[in-house]
Amino acid sequence: MSEMSPKEFKHILVGVDDSDDAQLAFRYAINRAKTDGAKLTIVSILEQDNMNVYEAMSKDFVHGQRADLEQHVLQYEKLAKQFGVKEVRSIVDEGDPGETIVKDIIPAIKPDLLVIGSISKQGVRKYFGSQAAYMAKHAPISVLVVR
C-alpha cells in the first residue's frame, strides 16, 4: 500500500459567484468530485453589503437578486450532473460570504474540502476574492484556493 496516495475527499463544497475564478474553482471541484466519487455541494452567498440602502430596503430587489443567484447556481448544478458527478446539491444563502460559509454552512453540511476562487478580476462586486484568505484561515477543513 502506497503511503503517498493523496487524500480522497467524500464531500466537496465549492463556492461560486459569476467571476472567472469561480468557474475555475467549479471546474476543479467537479473533476475532483468525479475522481473521488465524492458528493458535491455548490454554495453561493448573496452579499447584502453590496446593495445600497434603497436596494437593501426593497424586498423586491433582494428577492430578484436572490432569484438570479439561485438560477445561476442551478446552472452549475446541472453542469456538474452532466459532467457525471452523482450526488450534487446547491445552497444559496445571504450574508457575509466568508463568515456564512465558515460558521453556518460547513458545520451544517460537514464537507471535508472547501474549494474557492481567489480574486475576481472584473466587476465592481468583490465576490469571494477578499473572502478567500478569511476562509482559508478559519475553516475547520481543508481549503483549496484556485487561481
pLDDT value at residue 117: 84
3 assigned to some structural domain: no
Strands (E), 7-117: 11-15, 39-46, 88-94, 113-117
pLDDT tens string 116-138: 987 554 444 454 556 888 899 99
Find the CATH number of the domain harbouring 76.
Answer: 3.40.50.620
pLDDT tens string 9-31: 999 999 997 666 688 899 999 99
Number of C-beta neighbours around residue 112 at 10 A: 17
Owning domain of residue 59 = 18-146
6 assigned to some structural domain: no
